[in-house]
Amino acid sequence: MILLATNKRDVTTDFIVRELQKRNIPFFRLNTEDVGSSIMAMIGGDPADLRLNAGERRLHLSNVTAAYYRRPQPPEFAQHSGVTGEYLRAEWSAVLRSLWNALEGRWLNSPFAILRAEDKPRQLALATRAGFRIPQTIITNDPDVAREFTSKHGSIAKPLRQALLDEGDAGKVIFTSRISTLDYVSNDEIQLAPAIFQQEIPKRRDVRVIVVDKQVFATAIESQHWSETEVDWRKGIRKDLEHHSIDLPVELQHACIAVTAALGLRYSAIDLVEDKNGVFWFLEANPNGQWAWIEQRTGAPISAAIVEALSR
C-alpha cells in the first residue's frame, strides 16, 4: 500500500490518485487536517505498529510500502477553540511526527529531508559543485554590503525563506523583484531581515526542471513575452504564458540529478534561467514543488514517473 500524506484541497495529489487507480495499486490518502476524527492506536507504543481507522478506511503502517509527502496541513478542530484546540492540535501533530519518523526509508522525499533541503544557501553551494553556473549572490541585512552589491550591476532581491505572508483569508506572496537602486530604502528597513540579492541574468526564458530519481522533465516557460513576468514568471498568473517541453543538454540533466541526490531527495523542482546566449543558470531547487500544472500544459508524464518511483 502507498500512503499519500496531503490535504483535501491538494489537486496535485488527485493526479497521483488517478494514476494509482489506473494501475490498480492500493493506496491510502491521509488528509491530515481531518486526522483528529480518526481512531488510532500504537500497539506497544511502537509507531511501526500504528493503526488508524478513518471511518470505513483502515491504515496499518506495517502494510505501507512507500509514502509520498505532499502538502499535509495541521490538524483542524472546528468545534474546539482556545487552549483546547491548541492542545488537540499539538497531540495529533505528535502522532503525525511519529508516523513520519516510522516511515523513514519508505518516503519518496522524507519530510525531514525536505526541511533540510529548503536551505537555499546550501542549494547554491551544492549546485556550484555539480557544475551549474550561479548568479553572483550575497545574503545580507547589512545596508552597506547590500548597497555596494546592487550598485555594481542589475540585481534582484528575494526572500531567504518565507515567500508567503499570511494575512487571514488573503495571503500575500513576496515575488522576486528587480532592484534598480536602494537609495529609497532606509538602513533600518534593510536591517530588519536578511535577504538574497543576486545579479540579474538577462533572460531568454525560464526553465522549470522536475527530477524524479533519474528522470528529468524540463519545461521552458516563455516569460519574456510579458512585462509582468519578466522578473518572476509566477507574477500576474497569466493563463496564456507559453509552456513547452525541452531537452536539456545531457550534462545539465546529470547536474540536476546530482543536486537532487546531494540534497537527500528523490524528487525536486529546479528553477533555471536560460540567458540570451543560451547559457543556463541555477536559481534554486524546491524539494516539494508543484508539478501538476506542467503535466496539464505539456503532457509530461510526471505523475506516472512518481507512481513508478513509489512502486519501486
Q: Give yes or no for residue 225 having a pLDDT over 90.
A: no
44-53, 127-136, 161-170: range with highest mean pLDDT: 127-136
Q: Give yes or no for residue 214 having a pLDDT over 70.
A: yes
Q: Give yes or no for residue 227 having a pLDDT over 90.
A: no
On the question of a common fold for 2-107 and 136-200, the answer reads no
Q: Cell triple for residue 206?
A: 525560464
pLDDT in tens, 84-107: 999 999 999 999 999 999 999 999
Which numeric CATH code is attached to 116-133+202-312?
A: 3.30.470.20
> Is the distance from CB of 25 to CB of 311 less than 8 angstroms?
yes
Write down the domain spans for the chain: 2-107, 116-133+202-312, 136-200
> Is the distance from CB of 267 to CB of 214 less than 8 angstroms?
no
pLDDT at 143: 94
| C-alpha–C-alpha distance, residues 194 and 155, integer Å | 16
Domain 2-107 has what CATH class?
alpha beta
Low-confidence winner among 131-135, 144-148, 157-161 (lowest mean pLDDT): 157-161
Lay out the sheet containing 155-158: strands in order across: 137-140, 195-199, 155-158, 177-179
CATH architecture of the domain covering 136-200: 2-Layer Sandwich (3.30)
pLDDT at 168: 53
pLDDT in tens, 9-59: 999 999 999 999 999 999 999 999 999 999 999 988 888 899 999 988 999
Q: Give yes or no for residue 170 having a pLDDT over 60.
A: no
Structure-model confidence comparison of residues 78 and 267, the more confident one: 267
Exposed (0-12), middle (13-18) or buried (19+): which is 75, by Cβ within 10 Å? buried
Residue 236's pLDDT band, with cuts at 50, 70 and 90, is low
